[in-house]
């Protein structure tokens, strides 16, 4: 799976170009939204809670799952 495929899939999941931490957790099948924080730690937020989906997709592919 590549970042472009993940990006397209996330955009369809949320119906837009931005995703919240809680939406990302749901997208990944996780109950605890804090479980996805490691992917979002260095990303810029819009209005304090929205993340640009292409940035999130790159973070997911970038191997931040430690």
Q: How high is the pLDDT of residue 63?
A: 57
- Taking the CA atoms of 20, 6, 59 and 18 in sequence, report the sign of the dihedral they define: negative
Q: Which of residues 1 and 14 earns the better pLDDT score?
A: 14
Q: How high is the pLDDT of residue 66?
A: 40
Give the angle 33-39-42 at the CA atoms, nearest 5°: 115
pTM above 0.75, yes or no: yes
Question: What residue spans define the domains of the chain?
Answer: 3-61
Q: Which of residues 1 and 13 earns the better pLDDT score?
A: 13
- pLDDT tens-place string over residues 14-64: 999 999 999 999 999 999 999 999 999 999 999 999 999 999 999 999 854
Give the angle 60-22-26 at the CA atoms, nearest 5°: 70
Domain 3-61 has CATH 1.10.238: yes
Q: How high is the pLDDT of residue 1?
A: 76
């Amino acid at each position: 799976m590549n970042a472009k495929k993940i990006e397209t899939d996330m955009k369809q999941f949320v119906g837009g170009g931005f995703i919240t931490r809680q939406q990302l957790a749901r997208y990944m099948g996780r109950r605890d939204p804090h479980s996805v924080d490691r992917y979002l730690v260095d990303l810029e937020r819009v209005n304090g809670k929205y993340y640009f989906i292409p940035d999130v997709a790159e973070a997911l592919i970038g191997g931040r799952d430690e």
